[in-house]
Structure 1
Amino acid sequence: MARTGGPAGPTLATVAREARVSVPTASKVVNGREDVAPETRRRVTEALDRLGYVRRPRAGGAAYPSSLVDLVLPALGSSWSGAVLHGVEAAAAEAGLEIVVSAGLTTPRGYGPGRGRLHRLAARGSAGALFSRAELTPSQYAWLEQHRIPFVLIDPLVAPPPGVAGVGADDRAGGRAATAHLLALGHRRIAFLGGPRHQLAPAARAAGHRAALTAGGVPRHPAYERHTTLAPADARREALALLALPEPPTAVHVCSDAMALAVYEAAAERGVRVPEELSVVGCDDLPESRWAAPALTTVRRPLSDMAGTALRLLVALMAADGTAALRTDLPTRLVVRASTAPPPGRAGTAPPPDRAGRLP
């Protein structure tokens, strides 16, 4: 539901339905915007009076604009956050909404908005909120519900409770495509380096990786699947451990571009050439994947489209549209660049393992 002027008052969505207009249009009238047709303004004004809608005042008496939407990002300086912000801004402009951007707080398990930030969101009368890669607590979900603030999760870290809206990517398909690409090149010793097992995206990519191995007739090698934090330093440490195995992998499927570039560092430290001796596939398709040397083969996750979809879903929730899909996963796509090649000493596709399951 959309925000109200008071805890028990009508929502802006209620006013919009009464006046037969969109929530952003009703918001424009509430906030005195001039780009509204006279007849539309009359209907909204009459609905406001009829329903007794009262805007939430700020200290000093003026009203906070109810066309505000909060976007909480895990950090403000990364290219990942930049892609999300780009998508939200474009969709918000189409909807006539303004965006307030802030960075979340790091928690033991991920990113969360923090209690103080939620209170500030309510105090300024935001119409709704978008939480990017956040891991909200049960008490935070309850707080948002109590204050009737509609919200959508962008790329949620963990599965949200039933009824919570979220937009992500088809990471299982992406993980399968990445490993299938390496299999097609002839690799059979393929490692997977993923993020925390409890998080949605790393778990889905790992499932896709395993499915591709099974489809290719390649048995799983337990030592080749590793999970760590998303920090590049931890990815580098795990990559060094993989390269130190008696039979090291000839390819590594990594669950983020930043972690994949850490694998580059580990390979350089061991004197292993990419892609001549080690193929690497990342995930996200951030700008740095194109700038890397060699340019990184990766799975493109449509971050800007995910963010824009989340904003449009939020607008639907603000309008109390019960037909809106609460979970949307956008398709991923493999982008082949220069970091993948056939395994050492082999051109083209290699044969599968023998019947005993031995790797060639």
Structure 2
Amino acid sequence: MTTGPTLAVVAREAGVSVPTASKVVNGREDVAPETRRRVTEALNRLGYARRPRFDQTKPPRLVDLVVPFDESTAHRRTRELLDLPDPPTAVFVCSDRMALGVYRAVLERGLRIPYDISVVGFDDLPESRWAAPALTTVRQPLAEMAATALRLLVRMMDGECPEGTRTELSTRLVERASTAPPPARAR
């Protein structure tokens, strides 16, 4: 159970995104001084404390792959990632269906989710809770997305040009059983 404010609460209080607040917490230098000040003040005001499970002696390495949006490609590319000399400890894919391809590749290698590798999907499809182990995923406000798209379409049909229109909708991380702190690795 979380006892203090989350990074999302700190970010909202400071008027910044969660990744920006995370950069400040992690000591990254690519944050404007004024933004850093606002985040630091929010951290102090709210009594934010880092959670030990997120502390690592070695910073994570990010591998960014752009792949076709399907389960079989996710399966193939995950196998390639697992063949690297220093394979990833976590994979985040842009759909729950792609996560199923990741699961298959991980299990074929005899690895265990989340003990050897964490997996996170995106969409929170109903079947993601029945995967073994249940998939951690990002829930999108699908009905709100559809309504917003429809409103923009109607405006365009009425001759309004909503160029530059920006709409932010809230997503939510649904933590299930497919994520854990990275495993210790022998060096």
TM-score by length of 2: 0.61
Which of these two proteins has the greater Rg computed from alpha carbons? 1
The reply to whether residue 218 of structure 1 matches residue 59 of structure 2 is yes
Structure-2 change in CA distance of 1:175 and 1:298 (3 Å):
farther
Deviation sequence 1:105-135 (CA, Å, 0-9, x none): xxxxxxxxxxxxxxxxxxxxxxxxxxxxxxx
Deviation for aligned residue 1:218 = 2.8
Contact 2:152/2:162 (<8 A) preserved: no
RMSD (Å), alpha carbons? 3.6
Deviation for aligned residue 1:225 = 2.6
2:181 maps to which of 323, 335, 342: 342
Deviation for aligned residue 1:176 = 8.7
| Alpha-carbon distance in 2 for matches of 1:269, 1:275 | 15
Secondary structure of the structure 2 residue equivalent to 1:290 = helix
Flag the structure with higher strand content: 1
The reply to whether residue 287 of structure 1 matches residue 158 of structure 2 is no
Which sections of structure 2, spanning at least 5 residues, go unmatched?
Answer: 1-16, 22-50
Counterpart position of 1:74: none
Which sections of structure 1, spanning at least 5 residues, go unmatched?
Answer: 1-172, 178-182, 189-215, 347-359
Contact 2:156/2:162 (<8 A) preserved: no
Contact 2:120/2:136 (<8 A) preserved: yes
Higher relative contact order (CA 8 A, sep 6+): 1
Identity %: 56
| Alpha-carbon distance in 2 for matches of 1:185, 1:300 | 23
Structure-2 change in CA distance of 1:184 and 1:269 (3 Å):
farther
Structure-2 change in CA distance of 1:226 and 1:297 (3 Å):
same
Secondary structure of the structure 2 residue equivalent to 1:268 = helix
Deviation sequence 1:224-243 (CA, Å, 0-9, x none): 33221112111111101111
1:237-248 → structure 2 map (5 Å cutoff): 237-248=76-87
Contact 1:275/1:341 (<8 A) preserved: yes
Counterpart position of 1:249: 88
TM-score by length of 1: 0.34
Structure-2 change in CA distance of 1:238 and 1:323 (3 Å):
closer
Secondary structure of the structure 2 residue equivalent to 1:227 = coil
Deviation for aligned residue 1:280 = 0.6
Work out the number of aligned pairs and report it: 143
Deviation for aligned residue 1:294 = 1.2
